Chain A
Amino acid sequence: MIALLTGMLATAVLAGGVLALAALGEVLAERAGVTNLGVEGLMALGAVTAVMTVSSIHSPWAGLLAAILVGAAGGMVFAFGAVVMRANQVLCGLATTFMGLGLSTAMGHDYAGQPVGTTFGHVSVPLLSSLPVIGPAVFGQNILIIPIYVLMPLAVHFIMFRTRHGLNIRAVGENPAAADAAGIAVMPVRLWYVTLGGAMAGMAGGYLTLAYVPVWSEGMVAGRGWIALALVIFAGYRPVIVTLSALLFGLVTALSFVGQAHNWPIDPAFLNMLPYLGTMAFIIVPVVVWHRMRRVMAAPAALGQPYYREIR
């Protein structure tokens, strides 16, 4: 029983990391008022870039860095359309996803199905990793777990809610006209935070192939980008909660693995549906059950709206 729990938690932590990274990046973009629907495509680009990089430079760090850079570049392309040119955000996001999915498959054609040689190996934190259940799951995994679940969300939370700069970001997302009047440069804030969000989506893709599923195949991102987008809504655009819900979501994924490993009398196809069904339940049930939560968890007021200074 303990072994089962440990295994499930370990899988949950590992699987949730992909979602936590992508969702945290999206929180940054959406707090600044931009919905980036390109996350799925940027993750695919990051995943394939990581695989291609480590096949020539045998270092997972190099792979991760390349994935981050590609994600940032893709995020910038999206931001060019959606923020600089102020084109429709939904369209630019979908276009980014199409380009990302298409390009990643074309680029990774020669790498498909080959195991990735260099990945982030297990690191055991002394003492902590011998804790029951939690130890192996949290402190006995790859070195990225602590940054993903602790350092990055806390850093984003601190910047967002405890600094002047964070107030500026939120102002840009809530009321760009007022922010502009107060002397905050709306477009640069949006541009940089969308780019940063893209970098984190790319990192999520890199983490996917370098730490979670060490093989590139077409369609391996499998909607994780969209699930991350849904988690952002579920978590009410809050960095710490979004990370925790990614972990909760990792548990749903782990459940389907456990089911397959223990030969539950359910077809694997249905177990594989669990993450998607879970996400649907995640974003529908709370608003139906707790009506009052809607105001607390509401989206930034200017989310999805381009800002035109001349017609404010």
Chain B
Amino acid sequence: MIALLLRDLRLAVRAGGGFGLGLAFFLVVTVLIPFGVGPETGLLSRIAPGVLWIGALLACLLSLDRIFALDWEDGSLDLLATAPLPLEGIVTIKALAHWITTGLPLVLAAPALGVLLSLPPSGYLWVLVSLALGTPALSVIGTFGAALTVGLKRGGLLLSILVLPLYVPTLIFGAEVARRGAEGLAVQTPLLMLAGISFGTLALLPFASAAVLRINLR
């Protein structure tokens, strides 16, 4: 399992394009927002948590179709499926690799980008916490979507239609934690819900993803 994780990470770093792309996209979206809504500091600081969440979600979405596509094309996905490791485990590792290469950099970059959006100082910690807690759920749900569309030509567009509605609860609770944290309100309830969604999807969705992948490899 660790070997597979290391292989995926190495591929992501060396194959180019995939690793930094999500981060760059996140940066560009964040920079574009003030041009769209105007540079008013009060307005920006009010919408900053939501904007950071939307940006992270879109950046995450951008890299989803890479999870299985390359392995599917060169046939290594079939090899992985026949390996002694259960497919559920492989799917989980894939999601983990996706999170480390996409989610984690986003989490770390979000507070820095918060400066551009004049996020209130109390918000930095909570944006970090909510993204750290929420992005694993985004990766796991996205892995399910990627498994659904793996063999399809032009699956990328379909993937976003399938995955975005599934992202709704995570987005609502995640942005709510960040918003309440930035305004200094109590964050306990949405924080617990967000954690519940993350752990729940992590526990259950790999089974659905593996089942879907088995059908697609049939």
Whether A associates with B in a native complex is no
Q: List chain B positions with a Cβ less than 8 A from chain A.
A: none
Task: List residues of A whose CB falls within 8 A of some B CB.
Answer: none
